[in-house]
Structure 1
Amino acid sequence: MAKREALIRVIDALHAEIAALKTNDVHALERATADKLAGIEAIALLGTGPAGPDLRELADEANRLNETSRIYVNLMAANVRRRLQVLTGESGAGYRPTLAGAYA
C-alpha cells in the first residue's frame, strides 16, 4: 500500500469516526478508530521521506479531520462532566439551593 492510499484510508476512517461521534454509535466509533489506527500504522511502516504537494494536501486534510474529531470528543466529555456534577450536586457556579438560606 502506498502512502497516498494509506492517507486516504485514514481520511475515510476519520469521516466515519466523526459520523459515529455525531450519532453516538459506539460500535461504528470502535470500527472507525481501529481503521484509522491501522491506516496510521501502514503509513508509519512505509517510513519517512519527502512529501509532494499531493501527500501534503492529504496529510493536512487528515489533520483537520482529526482536530474536528478531537473537538467532538472534548465537547462530549464536557457534557458528561457537567451532567455528573449536576447528578452529584456539584454543579460548580450554577444555582444550588442551600438549607441555611431557606431558614434565614
Structure 2
Amino acid sequence: MTRRDALIDVIDALHAEIAALKTNDVASLERATTTKLAAIETVAALGQGPAGPELRELAEEANRLNETCRIYVNLMAANVRRRLQMLTGDHAGNYRPGIAAAYA
C-alpha cells in the first residue's frame, strides 16, 4: 500500500463519517471512525518522505473533510446541550449575570 492509497482510504472513511453523522447512524459512525483511524495509522507507518502535489492535495482534502466532521459534531453537541438546558429549565444556559464580572 502507498501513502496515496492510505490517504484515499482516510478520505473515504471521512465521507462515511459525514454520511453517518447526517443520518445519526451510530453503528455506521463507529465503523467509519475505526476505519479512518486504521487508515491514519497506515499513513503514519508508511513514513514521512517528501510529498508531491498529489499527496498534498489528498492531505488537504482529508483535512477539509475532517473539519466538516468536527463542525457536525460541534453542532450536534450544541443541540444536545440546548435540549438538556430546556429539559432542566435552564434556558439561559451557562450565562449568569454577574459571573463574568467575577472573572474580570
- State TM-score, norm by structure 2: 0.88
Q: Could you tell me which amino acid in structure 1 is paired with residue 81 of structure 2?
A: R
Partner of 1:12: 12
1:92 aligned residue = 92
1:1-104 matches, within 5 Å, as 1-92=1-92
Unmatched runs of 5 consecutive residues or more in structure 1: 94-104
3-state SS of the aligned residue for 1:51? coil
Deviation at 1:24, TM superposition (A): 0.1
Structure showing greater Rg? 1
Give the drift of 1:91.
Answer: 1.2
Percent of matched pairs sharing the same residue: 77
CA RMSD across the alignment: 0.8
TM-score (norm 1): 0.88
Structure 1 outlier segments of 4+, above 2 Å = none
What are the superposed Cα offsets for residues 5-60 of structure 1, whole Å, 9 maximum, x if unpaired?
00000000000000000000000000000000000000010111210000000000
